[in-house]
Amino acid sequence: MRPTPAGRPFPASFAAAPALLVESLRPRQWIKNGFVLTPVLFAREAGDPGRLAAAFGAALVFSALSGAAYLLNDVVDRDADRLHPGKRNRPVASGRLGTGPALGAAAALAAASLGLAFALVPSGAAFAAAGFAALQALYSLGLKRLVFLDAMSIAAGFVLRVVAGGFAAEVVVSHWIVLCTFLLALFLGLSKRREELTTLEEGDRDRHRPVLGEYSRELLDQANVVVLGATIVCYALWTVSPESVAKFGSDRLVWTVPFVVYGLLRYLYLVHRGEAAGSPTDALLRDRPLLLCVALWLAVSSAIVYLG
């Protein structure tokens, strides 16, 4: 590829653009949208084809919106991403994909997915999806520069996924699930900031992500201790709450607490060793103990919920 005067490659040809757009959508990260399925699973309605199909439809909408958000964020952060050892190779940051095609694709994808949402899923889920799209845009344009609000914005996005899943499947979303989702996502967001502080050179931190200048390892470690403890306590209380016992006909869901504790501590261990791969999704897919823990939690939880 012929270099530009600045040393970066020219944008890719029209024929190569689709492949670069797909790469920028980051399909590997769409596993996060599995949170949309949480309400229907814990409402014991996963055996209802209609509700399950509606939840999957909402998950697809959120996957498309997530892809659009990644494109917008890549355009906004293209100069800063060139300072990051991994992100510098992304299509927009590397110059292989122009900002015009990226923004055009993001707008088209967001408009199409929201149009389908309002046409095919209950209005509550569609409005939650619209709120998610607005939140992602605000995050890219400013919220990510505000200390703690950056991580809380990420957590709010996960809560909107859960709420949308409940509306789509027309099941009640427990306040316990909302609380656990928010705290878990906040823990992961703070852990990601902590890893960025470790990975980036001191001179590149502020230029890559300005909010990193407001954080320190000590501050993030203290915040994570608080959020980690709150997450575990909230989950444990949910498993033995009268509401859960009545719904599942058993208090055995408490047996899943050790899986949650180990999974969170394992991820924290990976973060402190610099092995979290820069993303909870990548860490989950690469780290076998963590992946096994999640699989066992899902298997045991499903058995208790549906056979309890």
At 90, which CATH number?
1.10.357.140
Take residue 167 and report the two structure tokens written for it. Answer: 């509306």
The residues pairing with 9 across neighbouring beta strands, listed in sequence order, are 3
5 is a domain residue? no
Tell me the C-alpha distance between 160 and 128, whole Å: 6
Domain hosting 20: range is 11-173
* Residue 27 neighbours by CB under 8 Å, 6+ apart: 63, 67
Same domain, 216 and 168: no
Cα Rg of the chain, angstroms:
20
3 is a domain residue? no
Same domain, 146 and 114: yes
60 is a domain residue? yes
State the pLDDT at residue 197. Answer: 81
Tell me the C-alpha distance between 243 and 250, whole Å: 11
Same domain, 41 and 77: yes
Same domain, 158 and 213: no
Task: Using the structure block, give the residue that is written with the tokens 């619209």.
Answer: 130
The per-residue b/e assignment along 168-206, b for 16 or more CB within 10 angstroms, e otherwise, is: bbbbebbebbbbbbbbbbbbbbbbbbbbbbebbeeebbe
Same domain, 34 and 169: yes
State the pLDDT at residue 5. Answer: 42
Domain boundary among 113, 145, 173: 173
Q: Output DSSP code: residue 7.
A: S
110 is a domain residue? yes
Same domain, 36 and 160: yes
Contact call for residues 74 and 91 (beta carbons, < 8 A): yes
Contact call for residues 228 and 268 (beta carbons, < 8 A): yes
Count how many domains the chain has.
2
Same domain, 182 and 81: no
State the pLDDT at residue 294. Answer: 94
Sign of CA dihedral 292, 295, 297, 300: negative
Tell me the C-alpha distance between 32 and 298, whole Å: 15
Could you tell me where the beta strands, DSSP code E, fall in the chain?
A: none
State the pLDDT at residue 16. Answer: 65
| Helix, strand or coil, per DSSP, at residue 205 | helix
Same domain, 118 and 218: no
Task: Using the structure block, give the residue that is written with the tokens 């990193």.
Answer: 212
Q: Distances from the Cα of 153 to the Cαs of 132, 213, 218, 251, 265, in angstroms? A: 10, 18, 22, 33, 23
| Helix, strand or coil, per DSSP, at residue 3 | strand
Domain boundary among 173, 204, 222: 173
2 is a domain residue? no
4 is a domain residue? no
| CA angle 124–130–136, rounded 5-degree value | 135
**DSSP character string of 210-263:** GGGGG--HHHHHHHHHHHHHHHHHHHHHHHHSHHHHHHHT-SGGGGGHHHHHHH
6 is a domain residue? no
State the pLDDT at residue 204. Answer: 56
Sign of CA dihedral 66, 291, 193, 195: negative
State the pLDDT at residue 6. Answer: 45
Q: pLDDT tens track of the chain, all 308 residues?
A: 444 444 455 555 455 678 888 888 888 888 899 999 999 999 999 889 999 999 999 999 999 999 999 999 999 988 888 877 778 888 898 888 888 989 999 999 999 999 989 988 888 999 999 999 999 999 999 899 999 999 999 999 999 999 999 999 999 999 999 999 999 999 999 998 888 887 766 555 656 677 888 888 899 999 999 999 999 999 999 999 999 999 888 889 999 999 999 999 999 999 888 777 667 788 888 889 999 999 999 999 999 998 86
Model pTM greater than 0.85?
Answer: yes
220 is a domain residue? yes
Domain boundary among 149, 173, 197: 173
Sign of CA dihedral 290, 265, 179, 297: positive
The residues pairing with 3 across neighbouring beta strands, listed in sequence order, are 9
Residue 42's CB: how many other CB atoms inside 10 A? 23
State the pLDDT at residue 130. Answer: 96
Tell me the C-alpha distance between 263 and 248, whole Å: 23
